A and B are shown apart, each in its own frame.
Chain A
Amino acid sequence: MSIQPGVGYTFAASSSGINLNIEQPWSEWDATKYHPFQVINVTYDSVGSAWTYQVVPGTLNNVVPQIDEDSVWVKLDRTSGGLPDWPVSVLTPFDATTHECFIYLRAGKDATSGAFPSTDDTSTDYPRIVCSDTALSDTDTYGYVLLAKATEGTGPVCSVVQYVTGSLWGDRIKLGTSTATYYYARI
């Protein structure tokens, strides 16, 4: 029997034995192992006493949402020098009792064209990732789809339950004076 090297691994034999070399360490930015709208890299910032996180780029009706990075709304698929430079946001607020933070994709209809979602990336109606310490309900202005829920513990530790695992198509339908209803399907 012989042992053969695989991708990223080599063996070096000597009189002392066989060395296994891992030449390609695991990469945080290997996008192939993520799915759209996945919440990743939830990290505690001890300086700011806050959790930071990223969301893998996805689309709603072919529109790439934004996320708040240092009070600036940035598209999820930002690149820098041709490489992914996905924005980092702060995970807040957490509910004081349940210690939960809901991570939503929020979107509204375009103020000019009426299309859903808005394609004006300067507008609050443009698809955006938002956090809340309570569950949010749809309104005529915004539809919310729950991407994930984070729960904070002592330690500090933080766990994430992911609910949406792909890009989305959505329809907004409003009947009479009833609150608009938003329907989503994963693609």
Chain B
Amino acid sequence: MSEIIGSNTTYSTWGVMRTPLGVDSPYASGTVKSDYGHNTEYDKGFTATAGCFFRTSPSYSTDNPPPRFVYEDYSTSGLFYMWGLLYDGNLLVQDDYDQLAGETVTMTNGTFTLSVDAWDAVLGGQTVSGGLGSIISIGKLTAF
């Protein structure tokens, strides 16, 4: 049975294929996504350039929060990774991951260069320093 695209309460062809990146850290709750049917509101996160979204892969479930980077602080080391990667597979299309690799992540207490390990489902994330704090900015991305 086919879905009726464009219904007032279900899928559209455009909105569900685009998303900003969310943010998360031990010190701040994750990005809140409110989905009302053709009306989606995000409280904070990142866009590619001002107002431009990321393309989600077909495996991304729109029932979940937006794809987001998470920093876990283990005191002597830390882990930086794309949340949900293990469950949802590739959240973004490969082109967008390629654009993120090599970008500088600025945290409250330091910086590091984003590597492909951050979205490697086998490695489970990129090992970084501990005590970095919260995510401030990610290279070319625009915070909102």
Contacts and interface: CB of A to CB of B under 8 A. Distances in A.
B14 A176 contact: no
B39 A62 contact: no
Interface in A112-162: 113-117, 119
Interface stretch (B41-49, B77-85, B91-99): B41-49
23 contacts: A62-B6, A62-B7, A113-B37, A115-B37, A116-B37, A117-B8, A169-B5, A171-B12, A171-B38, A171-B40, A173-B18, A173-B39, A173-B40, A173-B41, A173-B53, A174-B40, A175-B42, A175-B47, A176-B44, A176-B45, A181-B51, A183-B15, A185-B12
Nearest to B42: A175
A43 interface: no
Nearest to B50: A178
Place the interface of chain B in its size category: 20 to 34
Contacts of A110: 36
Interface in B8-59: 8-9, 12-15, 18, 20, 34, 36-45, 47, 51, 53
Interface in B114-141: none
Main SS of chain A's interface residues? loop
Main SS of chain B's interface residues? loop
Interface string A97-114: 000000000000110011
Interface of B: 4-9, 12-15, 18, 20, 34, 36-45, 47, 51, 53, 144
B23 to A, nearest CB: 11
A176 B31 CA distance: 10
Contacts of A180: 41
Contact of A62 (B8, B43, B53): B8
Contacts of A113: 36-37
Q: Which of B4, B7, B8, B41 has the most CB of A within 10 A?
A: B8
A8 to B, nearest CB: 37
B29 to A, nearest CB: 14
Contacts of B37: 113-116
A171 B51 CA distance: 14
Given A113-B37, A114-B37, A115-B37, A187 B42 contact: no
A187 B6 contact: yes
A174 B44 CA distance: 10
Given A115-B37, A176-B43, 17 more contacts: A61-B38, A62-B7, A63-B8, A109-B36, A115-B9, A115-B36, A116-B36, A116-B37, A119-B8, A169-B13, A171-B38, A172-B40, A173-B15, A176-B42, A177-B144, A185-B12, A187-B6
Contacts of B40: 171-174
Nearest to A181: B51
Nearest to B44: A176
Given A109-B36, A114-B36, A174 B14 contact: no
A139 to B, nearest CB: 14
